[in-house]
Structure 1
Amino acid sequence: MAAWLASGSFAAEQSPGIPAWLRSHIGEGEGQIAQVVLQRARALYLRKVKEGVVKGPCYFAMDATRPNNLSDGRLGNRFYVICEADQSFRAISAGHGSGRNLKSIANFVNGRECAKNFGNAMDSYLTAGGAYVTGETKTSFKGYYRTSTKQDEVLIRSFVQFDGEGETANARQRAIGGHAAVSLKGVCLRKDLRSPYANENGYVPFGNLVDYSGGRSDGCTSWSPSDARQIIPPLKDDPTTVYIYPESHDIEAVEQAISTRQSLSRAGLYWNAFCLKQIGSPKFWPKEFLEPILAQDHKKDHPEMPPRSPPVCRP
């Protein structure tokens, strides 16, 4: 991945047209980027450069209509790191929002392979397409885990906050951002007075390390641990743009075309063909509709009770 530059001279001097080397990456095959995704990602980047918000030469894009997993077990590459300064283009994997099933009220769950449901509601765990700019990076201690060599390791995970606009303006309230697809499961509290992370009673969280790079997220953009180690550190002092496709109007247009049996290509619309066959038709769940339902569901299933801490680990 190209090094980030502090100067905005390169970005500011770019012509509106997509350069020839970058056009060679346009397409719908593996490792390529759809034209509409690239055009919008680049337009967002150049606009934010002009506004003085972004100065570096790299920007991000994601095509959430593509599959997360391929038929041969490999991860689908649908998140793009584009650095025009050194003419580099890289496609990597990224997870999509899992959604939720509110029993008989509303079911907007997404499978691991393809995303059908999208939305911008609080606590929906859905991906919301649109324009973002990376914000501050927060690094936090998650706990300890046992490695294959019987050693205890610390899980420290960094989270890059995204700030959106328009329909994604509530990204900060939703705690939407980017992080490594790794977490601890089956957490319990273990006594460790020597640990600098111990609480006031001398306990630390201890669990099983889970890498869910091929899985889903809570609506954030999740990368493999190795990719996250390359992407996140440069963003600390140098924000950039993230464009995620599709937006609500794309989803609604595709849904309308499918319902009237129109050809997407003839209608000038785009959706990954493999995933469209899998999901049938996409759906956007606006926050105005979903948030009241989610609030009622939370109140029903989570009556006012003090939060419970993990149990103490068994010897």
Structure 2
Amino acid sequence: MRLRSILLIFSLLIIVIALLAPPRSFAAQQPLNVPAWLRAHVGEGEGQITEVVLQRARALYQQKVNQGAVKNPCYFAMDATRPNDLGEGKLARRFYVICESERSFRAISSGHGGGRDLKGVADFANGRRCAKNFGNAMDSTLTTGGAYVTGETTMSFKGYYRVSAKQDAVLIRSFVQFDGGGETANARQREIGGHPAELLRNVCLRKDPRSPYANRDGYVPFGTLEDYAGGRSNGCTSWSPLDAGQIIAMVKDNPTTLYIYPDSADIEAVARAVAAGRSLSGVGLYWNASCLNEIRAPKFWPKETLEPILARYKKDHPAPAQRPTPICKAQ
């Protein structure tokens, strides 16, 4: 009887210790079982991928391959906790293209959602270098971490721009739609996808009736080309024009997966650990140290919370009437 009592007390102690132990991250719970050549790219240095990001990206890809939803030999991952703009025109590499059958690993730059500052109501804006705010609300222009599958590619005419004293070029921008699930399920509704980080500024209308893109009055938009690879996006994943061309060609009619870290559970766990003064590594969590030092603590804005705020703000601050695009001055 005494032995049975001792064993019962011992069992209860084990249960209590397990309940009091800090939660472990996905990375801490599962061993990283990857080929040696790929493991060489795992780390927190420039151009490397952290263990938790790779593990989740591989798991998503393998799941979709097993379901028959994906046959592409390559898959993507992004670590949105890393910095984007390193200053002096240098961009950090935090978007990953991984092709295991070819033993190919490539890290490139990618923008993050800029968010918005609703003056006096809510500020969920992000700087150029690091993202503090994440969310999945409509019109929030925030990045949402989680699982995606690439969809169809569309092309849209943006206008003309000057490339030399006597030559103009046309900007037709490609856009890869993303489809998600769970918190990313509204990706199509939000028009979230990937595209080159380029647009036209200072647009005016120029008379060019011979252009196949001319409107019924014979005008086409004309502006100044801007590459904003070092800036922010409207929540989409933006790449440099050169990188975008290569990535879009990879997924055209051949979908693959993209895992963006962090998701809301990661964000909330990190925020709690920071508030409690805990070491992230000590509790099995990950966030890029440089950006965490800058933002102090991340925040996730769920659509259930943010969309009503955005709706009220839009009602109280109606957009001004859109001015017609001006006619270009003679050049």
Q: Same fold (TM over 0.5)?
A: yes
* Aligned AA (1:137): T
CA contact (8 A) 2:193 2:236 kept: yes
Structure 1: state its 5+ residue gaps: 1-15
Aligned to 2:97, which of 56, 81, 84?
A: 81
The answer as to 2:270 corresponding to 1:260 is no
Q: Which has the larger radius of gyration?
A: 2
Shift of 1:310: 1.4
Q: How do 1:230-249 and structure 2 match up within 5 A?
A: 230-249=246-265
The answer (yes or no) to whether the contact 2:72–2:251 under 8 Å persists in 1 is: no
Structure 2: stretches of 5+ with no match in the other structure: 1-31
- Measure, in 2, the Cα distance between the counterparts of 1:121 and 1:56: 30
User: Which residue of the partner structure matches residue 162 of structure 1?
Assistant: 178
Whole-angstrom distance in 2 between the partners of 1:148 and 1:302 = 41
Cα shift at 1:274: 0.5
Q: Does 1:123 find its partner at 2:139?
A: yes
Runs of 4+ in 1 over 3 A off after TM superposition: none
Residue matched to 2:73: 57
Give the corresponding residue for 1:177. Answer: 193
* CA distance in structure 2 between the aligned counterparts of 1:275 and 1:117, rounded to whole angstroms: 12
Structure 2 residue aligned with 1:5: none
Identify the range of structure 1 (185-194 vs 130-139) with the bigger mean alpha-carbon deviation: 185-194
Bigger shift: residues 281-290 or 228-237: 228-237
| Residue number in structure 2 paired with 1:189 | 205
Equivalent position to 2:234, from 218, 223, 230? 218
Pairwise CA distance, 1:304: 9.0
Relative to structure 1, the CA distance from residue 303 to residue 65 in structure 2 (aligned partners, 3 Å threshold; closer, same or farther) is: closer
Q: Which residue pairs with 2:12 in the alignment?
A: none
Distance between the aligned counterparts of 1:142 and 1:196, measured in 2? 13
Give 1:41's aligned residue: 57
Maintained 8 Å contact 2:115/2:125: yes
Instruction: Give the aligned residue type for 2:207.
Output: K
Given residue 21 of structure 1, which amino acid in structure 2 is its aligned partner?
A: W
Partners of 2:69 and 2:236 lie apart in 1 by: 22
CA distance in 2, matches of 1:294, 1:187: 28
- Alpha-carbon shift at residue 311 of structure 1 (Å): 1.8
State the Cα distance separating 1:148 from its structure 2 match.
4.0
Q: Identity over aligned residues, as a percent?
A: 70
Given the two structures, how large is their TM-score scaled by the length of structure 1?
0.92
Matched, 1:273 2:289: yes
Matched, 1:314 2:312: no
> SS of 2:122's equivalent?
coil
Give how far 1:19 is off: 1.1
- In structure 2, the partner of 1:141 is 157
In structure 2, distance between residues paired with 1:228 and 1:303: 32
Does the residue aligned with 2:84 lie in a helix, a strand or coil? coil
RMSD, matched Cα: 1.4
Amino acid at match of 1:301: H
- 2:133, 2:142 within 8 Å by CA — same for their partners in 1? yes
- Tell me how far 1:296 sits from its aligned partner: 1.8
Aligned residue for 2:102, secondary structure, equals: coil
SS in 2 for 1:276: helix
Q: Which moved more, 1:153-162 or 1:292-301?
A: 292-301
**Structure with greater proportional helix content:** 2
Range that drifts further, 227-236 or 107-116: 227-236
